[in-house]
C-alpha cells in the first residue's frame, strides 16, 4: 500500500456472483447517542417482527438464485433468544436456497454473549460473529452509552475466538471528542493482540437527529477536525498493517483475503442483495428499493398482504458509474480504468493522482493507496 507498505490486490469480483441476503433485526436494549440506524427498544415486539419477516421472505420466494451470504444485522441480533434465531434461520432456509459454504454473519453485543449462546450460534451454522466492542476504555464506553465494560468486551472476544467460528470480527470506533492517539492505541493494541480475523474501525461521525448531533450543535462537544481525523486514519492503517492485517476498505481490515467480508463486498461492488426487515435496502440489476424504516408501518403493510417497500429507484448508467466510483475508491479492489473516462480532464486528473501517490494503476484497475483511501470520498469528483 502507499507509504511503502506493499500493495494488496484482491482482484475483480467473480464472473457470476451469487446474491447476498441481509436481515435487519431492529431491536436494541437502549439507543446509543451516536446511532442513526433504525431500532426499537420494545422487545415484546420480537415475535410480531418475526412473523412479518417470514411473510416478507415469502414475497421473494424463487426471485433470487441461491444466496452465498446471510448477514443478520441491526439493531442487535444477539438480543434474539436462541429459539427465535432458530425459527428465523429455519424460515429463511425453507424459503430461500442458501449455497453450501455460505458466509453467515451475526452481529452481537458483548453483553449478550454467553457460552450457551456461542454454542447455539455454532450449532445454527453461524460462521462469522461480529462483535460490537467499540472501545476498551471505560470512560469512552460510558460516553458511547454502551452496556458492556471493557473487561466484558475482552472476555466476550476471547470466548468467541475460542468457540471455533471460522471468523470473528470486531467493530471499533475512534475519533471520540478529546481522544488522543495514545488512548486509541490502547484499544487497538489490545484488540489486535487477540488476533480476531477481521476488524472494522469507524471514525465517529454525527448522524442527523441523534443526541450526539444535538450536543455538537449546542457546542458542548467537538469531534476531531480534518487534520486530526486524518492522523487517526493513517495511524490506524499503519498500526494494523504492522500487525499483519490487510487494509482493504476505508474502515475494514482482515488477517488475510479469505477473511474479507464476502457480504459487504456485494454492497461495494454492485453485486445483487436482498434486504428483509424494516429499513432494509435491496439491489438487483440496476434497481434499488428500500423498506419502511418504521416497524409499525413495515408490519402493517405485510399484515395487509402488501409489500413493505417504501421506495425504489432505477439507476441510470451514469448514476451506476458514479456509485461504482464512490464505492470503488473506498476499497483496495479499485475501479476499472474505463469508468474514469468522462469529463474533459480525466487523463490529467488520473495522472495527478498517480503522481501524488493517491492511486496506483494495475491490470486495468485504478487502486487507491492508503493515502488515497484517506480521501476516498473526494476522488470521484475528478471524473464527473
Q: Which residues of this protein are in contact with ligand SF4, per CB under 6 A?
A: 28, 31-32, 35, 37, 39, 74-76, 109, 132
Compute the residue count for the chain: 384
76 vs 241, beta carbon nearer ligand SF4: 76
Residue closer to ligand SF4 (CB basis): 76 or 261: 76
Nine cell digits for residue 146: 454502551
CA–CA dist 61, 71 (Å, integer): 18
Rounded to an integer, what distance in angstroms lies between the CA atom of residue 36 and that of residue 135? 19
Judge if the upstream peptide bond of residue 57 is cis by omega within 30 degrees of 0: no
Shortest spacing between CB 69 and ligand SF4, in angstroms? 20
Separation of alpha carbons 322 and 366, rounded Å: 15
Give 135 or 331: the residue with its C-beta nearer to ligand SF4: 135
Rounded least distance, CB 348 to ligand SF4, Å: 43
Whether residue 165 contacts residue 197, with contact meaning beta carbons closer than 8 Å, is answered with no
Closest approach, Cβ 110 to ligand SF4, in A, equals 11
Backbone angles phi, psi at 290, to 5 degrees: -145, 150
Nearer to ligand SF4, 170 or 350 (CB): 170
Among the listed residues 280, 284, 285, 286, the one whose alpha carbon sits nearest the alpha carbon of residue 311: 280
Query: Of 37 and 60, which has the nearer Cβ to ligand SF4?
Result: 37
Q: Are 150 and 158 in contact (CB under 8 A)?
A: no
Q: Distance between CA 272 and CA 285 in Å, rounded?
A: 7
To the nearest whole angstrom, how small is the minimum distance from the Cβ of residue 259 to ligand SF4? 22
Beta strands in the chain (DSSP E): 20-25, 67-74, 98-108, 128-134, 167-174, 198-203, 246-249, 252-254, 273-276, 281-284, 287-291, 309-314, 335-336, 359-362, 365-368
For the chain, the C-alpha Rg in angstroms (whole number) is 21
Alpha-carbon separation of residue 126 from 80, 100, 138, 347 (angstroms): 14, 13, 30, 46
Q: Is the CB of 37 or the CB of 346 nearer to ligand SF4? A: 37
Closest approach of ligand SF4 to the CB of residue 134, in Å: 8
Q: Looking at beta carbons only, is 60 or 202 nearer to ligand SF4?
A: 202
Least distance (Å) between residue 273 CB and ligand SF4: 19
Nearest distance, CB of residue 166 and ligand SF4, angstroms? 24
Q: Which is nearer to ligand SF4, 206 or 324 (CB)?
A: 206
C-alpha cell at 300: 402493517
**What's the closest the beta carbon of residue 375 comes to ligand SF4, in angstroms?**
27
Distance CA 383, CA 93 (A): 43
Q: How far is the CB of 38 from ligand SF4 (least distance, A)?
A: 9
**Between 2 and 74, whose beta carbon lies closer to ligand SF4?**
74
Amino acid at each position: 500500500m502507499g507509504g511503502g507498505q506493499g500493495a494488496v490486490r484482491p482482484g475483480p469480483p467473480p464472473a457470476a456472483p451469487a446474491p447476498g441476503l441481509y436481515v435487519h433485526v431492529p431491536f436494541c436494549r437502549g439507543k446509543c447517542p451516536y446511532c442513526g440506524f433504525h431500532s426499537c427498544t420494545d422487545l415484546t415486539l420480537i415475535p410480531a417482527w418475526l412473523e412479518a419477516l417470514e411473510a416478507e421472505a415469502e414475497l421473494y420466494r424463487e426471485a433470487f438464485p441461491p444466496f452465498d451470504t446471510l448477514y443478520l444485522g441491526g439493531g442487535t441480533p444477539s438480543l434474539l433468544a436462541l429459539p427465535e434465531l432458530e425459527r428465523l434461520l429455519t424460515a429463511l432456509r425453507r424459503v430461500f436456497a442458501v449455497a453450501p459454504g455460505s458466509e453467515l454473519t451475526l452481529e452481537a453485543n458483548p453483553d449478550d454473549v454467553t457460552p450457551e449462546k456461542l454454542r447455539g450460534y455454532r450449532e445454527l451454522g453461524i460462521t462469522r460473529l461480529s462483535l460490537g466492542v467499540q472501545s476498551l476504555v471505560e470512560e469512552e464506553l460510558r460516553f458511547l452509552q454502551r452496556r458492556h465494560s471493557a473487561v466484558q468486551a475482552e472476555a466476550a472476544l476471547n470466548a468467541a475466538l475460542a468457540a471455533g467460528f471460522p471468523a470473528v470480527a470486531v467493530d471499533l470506533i475512534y475519533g471520540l471528542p478529546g481522544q488522543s492517539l495514545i488512548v486509541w492505541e490502547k484499544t487497538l493494541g489490545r484488540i489486535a493482540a487477540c488476533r480476531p480475523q477481521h476488524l472494522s474501525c469507524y471514525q465517529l461521525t454525527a448522524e442527523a437527529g441523534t443526541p450526539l448531533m444535538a450536543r455538537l450543535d449546542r457546542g458542548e462537544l467537538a469531534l476531531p477536525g480534518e487534520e486530526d481525523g486524518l492522523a487517526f486514519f493513517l495511524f490506524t492503517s499503519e498500526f494494523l498493517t504492522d500487525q499483519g492485517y490487510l487494509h482493504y476498505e476505508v474502515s475494514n481490515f482482515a488477517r488475510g483475503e479469505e477473511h474479507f467480508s464476502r457480504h459487504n463486498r456485494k454492497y461495494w461492488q454492485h453485486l445483487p442483495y436482498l434486504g428483509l426487515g424494516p429499513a432494509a435496502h435491496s439491489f438487483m440489476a440496476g434497481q434499488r428499493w428500500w423498506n419502511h424504516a418504521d416497524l409499525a408501518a413495515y408490519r402493517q403493510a405485510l399484515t395487509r398482504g402488501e409489500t413493505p417497500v417504501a421506495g425504489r429507484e432505477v439507476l441510470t448508467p451514469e448514476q451506476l458509474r458514479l456509485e461504482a466510483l464512490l464505492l470503488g475508491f473506498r476499497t483496495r479492489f479499485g475501479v476499472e480504468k474505463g469508468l474514469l473516462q468522462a469529463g474533459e480532464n480525466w487523463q490529467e486528473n488520473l495522472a495527478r493522482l498517480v503522481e501524488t501517490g493517491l492511486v496506483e494503476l494495475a491490470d486495468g484497475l485504478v487502486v487507491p493507496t492508503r493515502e488515497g483511501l484517506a480521501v476516498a470520498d473526494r476522488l470521484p469528483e475528478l471524473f464527473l
